Homo-oligomer: A and B are copies of this chain.
Amino acid sequence: MFEQLGLIGCGMMGGSFALAMKRAGLVKRVVGYSKSPSTTEQARRMGVIDVEAPSALLAVSGADIVLLAVPVAATEATFKAIRHLVTSSMLIMDVGSTKRDVVEASRRVLRDHVGSFVPAHPIAGKELSGVEHADADLYHGKQVILTPIEKTQTGHLKRAQTLWEALGCHVQQMSPDSHDAAFAAVSHLPHVLAFALMNAIGNQPHGKDFLGLGGPGFRDFTRIAASDPKVWRDILLSNRVELVEQAKMFQRSLLNMLQLAEEGNGEKLEEMIALASQARAQWHMGRKK
């Protein structure tokens, strides 16, 4: 389907994409670039990429598909680095967890070629980073959100959809704004809550002892707290408006429950818990409603 993938960012997300594309026979050759030369070299040694490119620009040269798998905050700089070789027949995608900022960066930098860019967010990840954790199965069975804008070429949008589906993903389209609000709610805020809980416990005199008592519930609840600090710093900063909005609604819900507990209002408290419990019991990953 594609001749050459230009992969910018050969970490866990980008590396997994390259491996999945190769295994599915969707690409003949992968030319990769990472900021750190040792990562690029390791990616080549692992067979994640075929050729090491000495710069982001040269990774794009000759590619008919380009994937940016860099921290969201590095997106604009990456667009700048490659724009001189971007053509309108090249499909460019990213894998960023926020979309409004990425779309704005693409408008500012790619200008006439912005139609080549199909903003993408595969809902997949691990709390582990680095090419050594690249995994051809990472995206299989997962959802991918595409957030096209008016100038996006329909041909590229279709090819992007076909490609992700061929990798076993469920694809849906949303506006960049709806995307960012939704992911502030179901991903970014939960990460902040998990980070904040770890720190709140860790800062107590007996915090270490307390942590030793955490059971399976604690293990699962805090799993995302082990996520990569740089990646999450960028996500929280770039989606801060929606994050704070979601945090406000969360705070109201939290304070309400705490107040019911303090007042000893068991009936109302049980009602609140039952609402949450039913909603969660009915929830299934990747299924609406």
Is A58 in the interface zone, CB < 8 Å from B?
no
Q: Given the complex of chains A and B, what is the CA–CA distance between A127 and B283 in angstroms?
A: 14
- Chain A window 22-50, contacts with chain B (Cβ cutoff 8 Å), 1 for yes, 0 for no: 00000000000000000000000000000
Inter-chain CA distance A217–B269, complex, in Å, is 26
Q: A residues 176-220 with Cβ under 8 Å of B?
A: 178, 181-183, 185-187, 189-204, 206-220
User: Any chain B CB within 8 A of the CB of A158?
Assistant: no
Segment with Cβ contacts to B, from A86-94, A100-108, A149-157, A253-261:
A253-261
Contacting pair B277 A227 (CB below 8 A): yes
Counting chain A residues whose Cβ lies within 8 A of the other chain, the interface size class is: 35 or more
- Complex: how many Å from CA A183 to CA B182? 31
248-285 of chain A: CB within 8 A of chain B: 249-250, 252-254, 256-258, 261-262, 264, 266, 269-270, 272-277, 279-281, 283, 285
Contact assessment for A285 and B216 in the assembled complex, using a CB-CB cutoff below 8 Å: yes
Mark the stretch among A76-84, A111-119, A228-236 that contacts chain B. Answer: A228-236
A222 interface residue per 8 A CB criterion: yes
Q: Which 7 A-B pairs have the closest CB atoms?
A: A212-B288, A198-B276, A195-B276, A123-B215, A200-B253, A196-B254, A225-B280
**Pairs A–B under 8 Å by Cβ, sample size 30:** A124-B215, A125-B216, A143-B215, A185-B201, A185-B204, A189-B197, A190-B217, A190-B218, A192-B254, A192-B261, A195-B272, A195-B277, A196-B253, A196-B257, A197-B250, A198-B276, A204-B249, A212-B288, A219-B285, A220-B223, A221-B223, A225-B276, A225-B280, A226-B277, A229-B274, A229-B277, A233-B266, A237-B264, A243-B261, A247-B258
